[in-house]
Amino acid sequence: MDSTIFAEMSALAVRTGSVNLGQGFPDLSGPSSVIEAAYDAMRAGRNQYPPGHGSPELVAAVVRHQQRHYGLHLAPDQVVVTTGATEAIAGAVLGLVDPGDEVVVCEPYYDSYRAMIQFAGAVRRPVTLRAPDYRLDADELEAAVTDRTRLILLNSPHNPTGRVLDDAELAAVASVATRHDLLVVTDEVYEHLTFDGRAHVPLATLPGMFDRTITISSSGKTFSLTGWKIGWATGPAGLVAAVEGAKNWLSYSSGAPFQPAIAHALDHEESFHRQLRDDLQTRRDHLCQGLDGLGFEVHVPQATYFATTDVSAFGHADGAAFCAAMVERARVVAIPTQGFYEDGSPDGRHLVRWAFCKEEDVLSEGLRRLQGVDLHL
């Protein structure tokens, strides 16, 4: 398996002394009360394997979170704690998909989806979200389904496009899933990082959808603690048991002292992610206005850490060549979006993703460096 483009570009940023607007990790740590709670848990001896299902207090906090935000009433066996959303995705795909099954996935897609569908021996059926507005087309979704389709793997708010699926798109997914009796796995790690007052609506809250949906989230993005890798999957007990069954052979369990700390975060640090969302919106505007001023065609995101741009106006047909040139000329790292598309797909070739989950002065320095160079081919 290839190494991830994120790791490659971050290593390149370090090697070349570049401003890293590539990989999506925040410059600042999450809430200090949560870090203290992890210290406390370690000192209290929470240092051995936690239950594979998750520490009881974190499971209970996830139950309260889904109730408070979305009105979903979960029982403890409808939650499993995972090593980040990454392991929840792996567990869901490996636990729910058989070799030869087809998985419908929105392209561009997060890179682990492709790896996990391959590990499961399944077949990808991409449905492309096209620039500039990246809407999910109901007819294309319908057309991607065959009698071999097992599940739809959805991501909203969406990385890398920053789209938040609206009511009509969610209803289209629900309609296709129901009519074809499909499962849906939804990756909602950016659930709290939506902008301009836009609300994220979990697919599982639509009529009839809870029973066929695994909902995945993680504390990494919500609390700026991406290195702790505490995530979870929720859904009907039978599907959660399948995810947990696969997960038992992945990590089994992890993050003993971090689990109670994240329980504390979910219960007591909502103000942190509200503030983070507002800060990110300001930074989005800073980065997008700056890139726009440099002549980029900017696709302003509705959520997440990322903005995408079309670099064809500069004569670049290839985002990867553009990113290589920017490291060379400006010492700024961005991510070519083509890695999120099928090999050779024309849709993402000319797109580049920029992370704005960085300090204001890092964004300013990145923009200043870009201003000083020729962006044309």
Ligand X SMILES: *Cc1c(COP(=O)(O)O)cnc(C)c1O
Stretch that binds ligand X, among 78-86, 166-174, 275-283, 311-319 (CB under 6 A): 78-86
Tokens of 319: 């985002």
List binders of ligand X among 106-125 (CB under 6 A).
110
**Piece of 61-69, 172-180, 213-221, 245-253 that binds ligand X (CB under 6 A):** 213-221
Q: Looking at beta carbons only, is 216 or 325 nearer to ligand X?
A: 216
Stretch binding ligand X (CB under 6 A), from 30-38, 80-88, 251-259, 313-321: 80-88
Point out the residue whose Cβ comes nearest to ligand X: 84
Q: Which is nearer to ligand X, 82 or 149 (CB)?
A: 82
Which residues are CB-contacts of 192 (< 8 A; sequence separation ≥ 6)?
200, 221, 222, 273, 274, 276, 277
Question: Which residue, 109 or 210, has its beta carbon nearer to ligand X?
Answer: 109
Chosen residue from 46, 192, 229, 264 binding ligand X by CB under 6 A: 229
DSSP SS3 for 215: strand
| Helix, strand or coil, per DSSP, at residue 18 | coil
Task: Look up tokens 């997960």; give the residue.
Answer: 247
Question: Which strand (E) or helix (H) includes residue 187?
Answer: strand 183-187
Go through 240-250 and write b for each residue having 16 or more CB atoms within 10 A of its CB, e for each that does not.
Answer: bebbbebbeeb
User: Which residues, at least 6 apart from 89, have a Cβ–Cβ distance to it below 8 Å?
Assistant: 110, 112, 113, 116, 153, 185, 187, 216
Question: What does the per-residue mask of binding to ligand X show for 125-164, with x meaning CB under 6 A?
Answer: ------------------------------x---x-----
Choosing from 31, 220, 290, 348, the residue that interacts with ligand X (CB under 6 A) is: 220
Site string for ligand X, 270-289 (x = CB under 6 A): --------------------
- Binding residues for ligand X restricted to 172-191, rule: CB under 6 A: 187, 189
Which are the contacts of 130, defined by CB distance < 8 A and separation ≥ 6?
347
- Would you call 307 helix, strand, or coil by DSSP? strand
Q: What are phi and psi of 144, to 5 degrees?
A: -80, -15
CA proximity to 261, closest of 39, 106, 27: 39
Exactly one of 218, 281, 302, 338 binds ligand X (CB under 6 A); that residue is: 218
Q: Find the binder of ligand X among 31, 54, 84, 290 (CB under 6 A).
A: 84
Question: Binders of ligand X among 233-252, rule CB under 6 A?
Answer: none
Q: Which is nearer to ligand X, 161 or 314 (CB)?
A: 161
Q: Where are the alpha helices (DSSP H) in the chain?
A: 5-16, 32-43, 56-70, 84-96, 111-119, 138-144, 167-179, 219-222, 237-247, 258-268, 270-293, 319-330, 360-371
Nearer Cβ to ligand X, position 30 or 231? 231
Q: Name the minimum Å distance from CB 325 to ligand X.
A: 26
Which stretch, 50-58, 82-90, 169-177, 287-295, contacts ligand X (CB under 6 A)?
82-90
Sort 124 into a burial class: Cβ within 10 Å, 0-12 / 13-18 / 19+: middle
Report the residue from 34, 62, 85, 325 that binds ligand X according to the rule CB under 6 A.
85
Round to whole Å and give the CA distance between 85 and 83.
7
Residue 317 Cβ, how far from ligand X at the closest point, in Å?
27
- For residues 351 and 338, the answer to whether their CB atoms sit within 8 Å is yes
Work out how close the CB of 304 gets to ligand X at its nearest, in angstroms, rounded to a whole number.
7
CB of 113 to ligand X, least distance (A): 8
Question: Is 259 one of the binding residues for ligand X (CB under 6 A)?
Answer: no
Q: Report the amino acid identity of residue 228.
A: W
SS3 83: strand
User: In degrees rounded to 5, what are phi and psi of residue 34?
Assistant: -75, -40
Residues in the site for ligand X, rule: CB under 6 A?
Answer: 84-86, 110, 155, 159, 187, 189, 218, 220-221, 226, 229, 231
